[in-house]
Amino acid sequence: MYRLGLLAYDYAMKKAIGTLLWLAGHIINGLTLFSALIYLFGAVVWMHAPLVGVLLAGAPMLLPPLALAWLCRRIGRRLRDDLPVLPASRQKRWLLGGLAVATAGVFAMLARTGVNEYKCSIDRSRNAATHAAETQKNGFELVCESALAQYDVGLLPNLIATRNLAFTPVDLSHTPFAQFESLGSRAETVVDVRSRLYRGFRMPDGHRLILFEQDMSADGSTSWRDPKDEPERVNGHPARLVVMEDPTGKAVSLLSWMEGRRDYQLWVDANIARVPLRQQLFALAASIPKAVPACPNEPPPRSARLGPDGQPVKEPMPQVLTQAQLDTLGDKSKRPCK
């Protein structure tokens, strides 16, 4: 009788463990799908990364949790339903072996990428002075691989991306940009105002060119730039040139400047310290016509007040606000433009 009781207990525990494993497999699948959707949304919508690139980069990361979920569900179903363990066919053994090798390869790749990024960031923080001297000597900055991801902007068809913009983009039809192949555009919002626009072009030599502009009069934002960081000039306006290259040879050369209330960034996927594109990059920037602000009669923003450290000091909030100012704080689209 005692032995029968033990057998019944073992059978019940076996079914309970099988049910838990089966449920765990489904939970892992659900969490993996949710994480993939969040990653896809953040990378494509928020970071403007290309959809195909995000899918190719994210697919290997899904393999380990999906393999674990499949294993939990398979083992759990066998324990729960008390199914006999049958010898697998030759094709099934090859398939399972291939999946195991692929999963191990993904784990190794993710570990290698994480270790390389960690070593790169630690090396840069510990040898900041050496990196600064090398940047000054080489004319470009060596960065980690992840540092250039933000410049790989995913673009949409122009008609879709430029719909309902809060400002008028500069007209490039009579500039050298008109001779390049258009790759599309992407708009971006600032406090629910579509005041930013990326436009992509393919140069005749194959390089990818991105022009970014933001009309700060449309969203009411302000920006301060340290004059010490802007030794270059674009049509007489102070500008900054940053050239970056990662260990794989991928590079970005970024030229940024401000003209009135319009903020510009122009970058090309090349190291202009190695490729003779510097003169062309500056010529393209100089060819951009004067912008028409969305709010031409906007009160000029206050000049930045600098603190002892040379950085701008945030102005305190006024003690009394009008109803119009309160509406503006809650919804930038209600700002009076005229």
170 and 73 housed in the same domain = no
Phi and psi at 194, nearest 5°, equal -80, 80
Which of 150, 145, 139 has the alpha carbon at shortest distance from 120? 145
Residue 67: inside a domain = yes
Residue 210 maps to a domain = yes
Residue identified by tokens 């992840």 is 146
pTM of the model: 0.70
Is 140 part of any domain? Answer: no
Three-state secondary-structure class, residue 244: strand
Residue in the structure block whose two tokens are 């794989």: 248
Nearest-CA neighbor of 123 among 293, 247, 304?
247
Q: In terms of domains, do 188 and 220 share one?
A: yes
- Integer CA distances (angstroms), 75 to 71, 72, 82, 158, 252, in order: 6, 5, 10, 51, 49
Q: How confident is the model at residue 49 (pLDDT cuts 50, 70, 90)?
A: low
pLDDT (average), residues 219-240? 89
**Alpha helices (H) along 82-157:** 90-126, 128-138
- Residue 310, in any domain of the structure: no
24 within domain boundaries = yes
Domain boundary among 263, 286, 309: 286
Q: Answer yes or no: do 62 and 185 share one domain.
A: no
Any residues with CB less than 8 A from the CB of 187 and at least 6 apart, and which? 161, 162, 163, 165, 194, 196, 197, 198
Same domain as 167, residue 114: no
Sort strands 262-268 and 193-202 into parallel, antiparallel or unpaired.
Answer: unpaired
Report the alpha-carbon distance of residue 265 to residue 165 in Å, rounded. Answer: 18
What's the pLDDT at 138? 84
pLDDT at 13 over 60: yes
Q: Are residues 94 and 182 in the same domain?
A: no
Q: How confident is the model at residue 312 (pLDDT cuts 50, 70, 90)?
A: low
For residue 59, what pLDDT is reported?
73
Cα–Cα dist 294/272, whole Å:
34
Instruction: Name the domain count of the chain.
Output: 2
Within-domain flag for 321? no
Answer whether residue 317 is part of any domain: no
Residues 104 and 215 in one domain: no
Mean pLDDT of 208-220: 93
Tokens of 303: 């000049």
Average pLDDT value for residue range 11-27 = 81
CATH number at residue 223: 2.60.120
Please state at what angle helix 128-138 crosses helix 90-126, rounded to 10 degrees. 90
Q: Calculate mean pLDDT across residues 28-50.
A: 78
> CA of 317: how far to CAs of 180, 307, 312, in Å?
47, 17, 15
Mean pLDDT value across residues 17-27: 84
* 278/162 same-domain check: yes
Percentages (nearest 5) of helix, strand, coil residues in the chain: 50, 20, 30
DSSP secondary structure code for residue 220 in this structure: -
Single-letter code of the amino acid located at 142: L
pLDDT of residue 29: 85
169-189 confidence digits (pLDDT tens): 999 999 999 999 999 999 998
Domain span including residue 252: 150-286
Question: Letter for the amino acid at 5?
Answer: G
Which one-letter DSSP state was computed for residue 294? S
Provide the pLDDT for residue 149: 84
Any domain includes 245: yes
Q: Indicate the residue among 286, 307, 325 that finishes a domain.
A: 286
Give the up-direction half-sphere exposure of residue 262: CA atoms within 13 A in the CB hemisphere: 22
Q: What pLDDT, on a 0 to 100 scale, did the predictor assign at position 41?
A: 78
